A and B are shown apart, each in its own frame.
Chain A
Amino acid sequence: MGDTAFLNIDRVVSTALNQTTLAGLSAMLRSICEAVDAYGCILWQVVPGANLAAQPPAGYLFVLAEWFPGSKRDALHDLPINQSVTGNVVVTERTANIEDISVETRVYPDPFLEETGIKSLCSVPIRFREGPRGAVSVYRTRGEAFGDSELADLERLAALVPALYQAIRDKVSLDVIANLNTILHEAEIRSTEIEAELPSKGAMKALIQKQGREVIQRICDLVTETFRCVETSVILEDRLERPAVYELMATTWPDPIIKREFKRNAQDGLTGWVLAHAKPVKIFDLKHFERDRAAILEQYEGITWSDSLNIQESVMRFRRLSSEKELPPLSFLAAPILKGEELLGVIRCSVANESPYYFADLALRLLELVAAQIGNYWATRVEIQSWQAWVDSVSDLNSIGQKELAKPSQENDTVFKSAIFKKALLVAREAIKGAEILDVRLLDEDTRELFFARTFGQAWNAGSRDEVEARRRKRYPVDDPTHDSAGASVFRTGEVRVMRNVRECEDYSETFHDTKRMIIAPIKVEDKTYGVLDIRGVSECEFPTHAGAIAQLLAQQLGLYIFLKDTIDQVARARDRQSKLVQELRDTKDEAIRTFQDLAHQFKSPIIQAQRTIQSVIDNTPDKDNRKQDLWATRGLCVKAKNVSFMTNLFAALSRGENVSIKETDKLTYDELMKMLLEAAIDNERIRSPRGIKFDVDWKSFQEHKPQKSRMRQLYANRNLLEQAIANVLDNAGKYSFKNRRVRIYGGRTSGDGFHVSVENFGIRIRENERELCVRRGWQSEDAMATSGEGKGIGLWIVDHIMKAHNGQLILSPTKPDDLTEVRLLFPQARVK
């Protein structure tokens, strides 16, 4: 091999390795032309599906790349293998050197040859690395065959073509990926800048969306540039905004595109098929879609092509081809954009502007690489947006939670939970695409059943009123294995459950027939489980991969709120109890002060008055009767003071929790008792004389007995206590009697052989419901409080204790219609003789 040959090889290889696009193949072919002094060069490849072994061989050769001076490309045609010299070269794998094509009958009569004035050709067979065969054909416009050395050079260079073609494609692939990474890296920096600008929530969303579209557009431009194609379009699902709708995000197609949205429907054209099957599609030439339908359907079952871009007419227009001109090849590629197994969209390319006009398998693999990069970018972006939306939503939930928690604890617990649950369900719906029917179930502590505490989604209101109510009333036992359910299981285990297909779950309990998938997350805090959060999906839209984690977090958040609310309520209740206790203590203290004030008042007043009366007796010289009256009054006042003093001691003892005890029992004779009653009556009458209250002792009542019994001879009682009890009862009778009325003191044996002393008066009323209250410490009826200038409702309380200490009873009869009230001191038979 001479220096020239080496130089030629060097030039060709250098040229090839300097290419950055697939169209760079042309440059390599040009250097081959220059090496062998050819006019032009075509790199042929056998179409997929061709059968070289058939007789005659079936299939075509297509132009993988070509170089001719000027722009002659549009006139190139596929070559039938069995009707062309080059086809024969490929089949026989022998070089053909045709000096004069006009006399060579095997040369396919392509108008291109005539139009370009080609006279001779030489075709060298090659094998591409992936296996398909092809040929490198060089052409001359002068009728001169390629010489031996030229032929040898050509064969050497042709042998390099598959490797160089591979090298160019690999290099292009690497460059595309590198450029793609640059675009994505810049996008990442821009995202950081956007975040650093701290825009509002709405502005951030708009900026991120705009940036997303810009990035995708740059990728489309890059692919279009690499493949030298007319269209690169990227169709993606904006899961946060429009789940299950695949929208055209960016395109290089020059015309407005009418069909901008796709569903995962295999019948929805080529793009729909890719979306439905999540598999790539390569259509060799859309122009021959109908011709090649069988082979295409064999490879892509059920695929259709609707030509939504009106591609044939559009390409004619773009290239300014007259109607008689044949369309150039309309190759098509589409690859699913995936993140793992999750389909995010599709990227498609169509119609190469330069050779290679047909997208090779390697182009498809390159497109799949690009798709994978887009998938990563888009999934990350969706995830960031999704988490951002989630964070925003949880932030809103927290705001509501804090607001609700800050409300007074007295507020109804149901109101709090309703507000929080509503927001949480809204957040769940926003954060988990495909979450369509949601609810919160809580545990009924009494029945140990889960019940629906809050529901969300139109499905809850579907059907008749009875159906709706029956649905909402449904309950789920959590401890009953014979009626187990997925919700009960989650409640018990405390583990979130993601059911991608509810029909496959044995313990799934159906509430909505259309439910396809469901997430159940426990609402709990540590070991305390309050209920479950249910999220159901009925549409085709799958739950995102992180849906379970979101549901779990949300349910935990709810658990935390319930826990906080309970805790706050408990603290508030404890605080209230403490406040009440403090207030009670304060009231008790105030009450005690007032009671002692009152007792002091009751004690001092009669003493002062007694002193005044005595002073009056000393100062004046009234007649004998008046003096006697004054002395009686003085005596009464002193007795009252003594009684108050005694009562003060009793009150103090009882307040300390001690009981009234009878240390000494006196044997009171009938006469002694009568004297005690009489003196008490006189004393009180004098004290109440300004109001005209009279006190009568009904002697006869003590002597007349029905049924006939003997008169009481002795009463076993503590004299002081009895005197106190009588004094208190008479004091009340005087205090609460209407002006100028009589108080009657009577008594005698009872039918049960006991003994009673009773006091009747006409005054303020004791109602039936007040009888028991009257003997409580500190209780006074409204009428008593209105008419009392002393006393704190302890008089009858003390009397009651005194009577109980005597195993007796204090009996209050409700006031009769004529305003008559009776208070009875009843002694048991054991104390009477």
Chain B
Amino acid sequence: MHILVVEDDGLQAESVVSGLKRAFPRAVVNLVETEHQFVTGIDQIKNDPPSVIVMDVMMRWTEPSTDMPPRPENVKRDGFYKAGFRCRDLLAQYKETKNIPLILYTVLENEDLYMGDPDSFGTATYLRKDAELDSLVHTIRECTQMW
């Protein structure tokens, strides 16, 4: 199994990745830390689609550096709040990626997240971040039918 974790918070990424590795010892767990990294890595995702993607919603565009990629207009317009949704939309554009199970994994309550648009999650699964990773593991199993 191949799990892709998209999470910009270093500490949380560490705990999620290590927790998932413990839960799915044979799984390959990869980490993407920014939206830009996800966007530029979409071809790789198309070539080697993960079994499931665990996606944070509020994410930075890029890592601070001396040569930062500029933000596209849609990113400027909607800000980091919608980063997870933009990544979801990108996945939906390609036949290789549009059916990959996607878990929107966020600390925010779902009603705060969709901000008046109940359909904003689409086919993705919403999951609130919790201290324990059990619910995440359970949801991944459901999505991938990996019991």
Contacts and interface: CB of A to CB of B under 8 A. Distances in A.
Interface of A: 593-594, 597-598, 600-601, 604-605, 608-609, 611-613, 615-616, 633, 637, 687-691, 735-739, 763-764, 782-783, 785-790, 819
Contact of A600 (B11, B12, B69, B107): B107
Contact of B15 (A612, A785, A819): A612
Contacts, number: 103
A interface majority secondary structure:
helix
Interface stretch (B55-63, B94-102, B119-127): B55-63
Nearest to A763: B64
A721 to B, nearest CB: 26
Contacts of A783: 64, 68
B77 to A, nearest CB: 11
A209 to B, nearest CB: 66
A605 B12 contact: yes
A789 B8 contact: yes
A600 B61 contact: no
B39 to A, nearest CB: 13
B9 to A, nearest CB: 6
A738 B131 contact: no
Contacts of A739: 63-65
B129 A604 contact: yes
A782 B71 contact: yes
Interface in B55-92: 58-66, 68-71, 76, 79-81, 83
B117 interface: no
B142 interface: no
Interface in B97-138: 107-108, 112, 115, 129-133
A59 to B, nearest CB: 109
Contact of B80 (A690, A735, A788): A788
A626 to B, nearest CB: 13
A786 B61 contact: yes
A630 B81 CA distance: 29
A671 B36 CA distance: 44
A786 B60 contact: yes
Contact of B81 (A594, A604, A611, A735): A594
B13 interface: yes
A616 B15 contact: yes
A593 B15 contact: no
Contacts of A689: 10-11
A616 B9 CA distance: 18
A609 B11 contact: yes
Contacts of B62: 786-787
B68 A608 contact: no
25 contacts: A593-B115, A598-B81, A600-B107, A601-B58, A601-B108, A604-B107, A605-B129, A608-B130, A611-B131, A612-B15, A612-B19, A613-B15, A616-B15, A688-B10, A690-B13, A785-B76, A785-B79, A786-B60, A786-B71, A787-B64, A788-B60, A789-B8, A789-B58, A789-B60, A789-B80
Given A609-B11, A612-B131, A785-B71, 15 more contacts: A593-B112, A597-B112, A600-B108, A601-B107, A608-B107, A612-B19, A689-B10, A690-B14, A691-B10, A738-B64, A738-B66, A739-B63, A783-B68, A786-B68, A786-B70
A764 B59 CA distance: 18
B64 A736 contact: yes
Interface of B: 8-15, 19, 58-66, 68-71, 76, 79-81, 83, 107-108, 112, 115, 129-133
A530 to B, nearest CB: 44
B111 to A, nearest CB: 11
Nearest to B22: A619
Nearest to B107: A604
Contacts of B70: 782, 786
A738 B66 CA distance: 8
Contacts of B65: 738-739
Contacts of A690: 10-11, 13-14
A259 B59 CA distance: 96
A785 B73 CA distance: 13
Contact of A608 (B60, B71, B80, B131): B131
B25 to A, nearest CB: 16
B34 to A, nearest CB: 8
Shortest Cβ-Cβ A-B pairs, 8 listed: A690-B10, A611-B131, A789-B60, A604-B107, A789-B8, A787-B64, A786-B61, A612-B15
A388 to B, nearest CB: 59
Contacts of B14: 690
Contact of B59 (A594, A609, A613, A789): A789
A499 to B, nearest CB: 64
Contact of A615 (B59, B66, B132): B132
Contacts of B63: 691, 739, 787
A763 B83 CA distance: 23
Nearest to A787: B64
B71 A605 contact: no
A596 B109 CA distance: 12
B68 A819 contact: no
A783 B108 CA distance: 25
Contacts of B60: 786-789
B79 A594 contact: yes
B71 A609 contact: no
Contacts of A637: 11
A22 B8 CA distance: 119
Contacts of A609: 9, 11-12, 15
A428 B59 CA distance: 68
Nearest to B16: A612
A609 B16 CA distance: 10
